[in-house]
């Protein structure tokens, strides 16, 4: 026998694939930069997205601390470029998923799901989330900008 609770559970389960990455609302004291084991962008070189048009793994040999996280670079030259203007190369929203941010959530990101739009780097949770984000990048940026950085508090 179907009841209201069963129908609500079924509806929630059907929506789960799209919303699976939106499982964690913002909680107090989230770090400003998304980092795994203290390393931003999962170790990818932020400058390489701009200079090589691809995620390139950085190295601990070329690392620096900025904004509470350790950033890795594929070369000393890229590290110097970042040091000269870190905000030009660091991903928006601290490297958290840009699409989740537009929906009022904080989610992790992967370097493979990246976009440069209007000279800024945006990361997403996955390639499928990136495809959804890409349907309305300007609109999603407006929504995400309204959340950032207050969502961290």
**Model confidence, pTM:** 0.82
In this prediction, residue 15 carries a pLDDT of 42
As a whole number of angstroms, the distance between CA 78 and CA 82 comes to: 6
pLDDT value at residue 30: 84
Which residues lie across from 120 on neighbouring strands?
A: 117
**Alpha carbon distance 73, 56 (integer Å):** 8
Over the chain (153 residues), the average pLDDT of each successive run of 10 is: 38 41 52 96 98 98 97 98 98 98 97 98 98 98 97 91
- Could you list the beta-strand ranges (E) of 57-109: 59-66, 69-73
pLDDT of residue 143: 98
DSSP structure string for 133-147: HHTTHHHHHHHHHHH
């Amino acid at each position: 026998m179907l009841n209201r609770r069963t129908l609500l559970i079924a509806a929630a389960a059907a929506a789960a694939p799209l919303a699976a990455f939106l499982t964690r609302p913002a909680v107090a004291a989230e770090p400003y930069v998304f980092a795994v084991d203290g390393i931003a962008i999962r170790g990818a070189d932020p400058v390489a997205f701009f200079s090589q048009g691809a995620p390139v793994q950085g190295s601990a040999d070329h690392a620096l601390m900025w904004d509470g996280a350790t950033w890795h670079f594929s070369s000393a030259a890229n590290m110097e470029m970042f040091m000269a203007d870190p905000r030009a190369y660091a991903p928006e929203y601290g490297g958290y998923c840009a699409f989740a941010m537009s929906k009022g959530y904080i989610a992790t990101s992967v370097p493979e799901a990246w976009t440069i739009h209007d000279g800024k780097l945006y990361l997403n949770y996955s390639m499928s989330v990136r495809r959804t984000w890409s349907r309305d990048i300007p609109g999603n940026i407006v929504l995400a900008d309204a959340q950032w950085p207050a969502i961290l508090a």
